């Protein structure tokens, strides 16, 4: 069964450093998403991406964040200068048609980001 994969599973970084979280969505999917879950809190939407551009973003997704689909398979989330409060589990998701038209979002296993 096709699945979303994410690397690394755990990333530890120093405050102020740049990190890139990587995702390989399901191959025929066209819509891509990043969510995060701070420990003990709910899963929060960050950004959605379709046709090589951001289609929607949340207030959390400020200028420190960017997304990219550098090739036909990877989807990345970059945090330019990490802060302590960026420590969270980051989930990538993809869907083949727009959610709500019947397409469910498939989630990856997550990358745990720890900012020291």
Partner 1 sequence: DQQVKQNSPSLSVQEGRISILNCDYTNSMFDYFLWYKKYPAEGPTFLISISSIKDKNEDGRFTVFLNKSAKHLSLHIVPSQPGDSAVYFCAALNTGTASKLTFGTGTRLQVTL
Contact with partner 1 (CB under 8 A): which of 8, 98, 114, 116?
98
Is 114 a binding residue for partner 1 by CB under 8 A? The answer is no
Q: Phi and psi for 66 in degrees, rounded to 5? A: -150, 155
CA distance 115 to 87: 5
Instruction: Mark residues 30-69: x for contact with partner 1 by CB under 8 A, - for none.
Output: -x-x-x-----xxxxx--x-x----xx-x-----------
CB of 108 to partner 1, least distance (A): 5
Q: How far is CA 64 from CA 77, 83, 94, 107, in A?
A: 10, 10, 22, 23
Tokens of 107: 């989630």
Is 96 a binding residue for partner 1 by CB under 8 A? The answer is no
């Amino acid at each position: 069964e096709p699945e979303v994969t994410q690397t690394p599973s755990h990333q530890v970084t120093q405050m102020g450093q740049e990190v890139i979280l990587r995702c390989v969505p399901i191959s025929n999917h066209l819509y891509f998403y990043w969510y995060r879950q701070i420990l003990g809190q709910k899963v929060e939407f960050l950004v959605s991406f379709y046709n090589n551009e951001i289609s929607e973003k949340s207030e959390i997704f400020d200028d420190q964040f960017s997304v990219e689909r550098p090739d036909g398979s990877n989807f990345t989330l970059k945090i330019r200068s990490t802060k302590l409060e960026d420590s969270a589990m980051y989930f990538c998701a993809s869907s083949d048609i727009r959610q709500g038209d019947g397409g469910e979002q498939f989630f990856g296993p997550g990358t745990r980001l720890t900012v020291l």
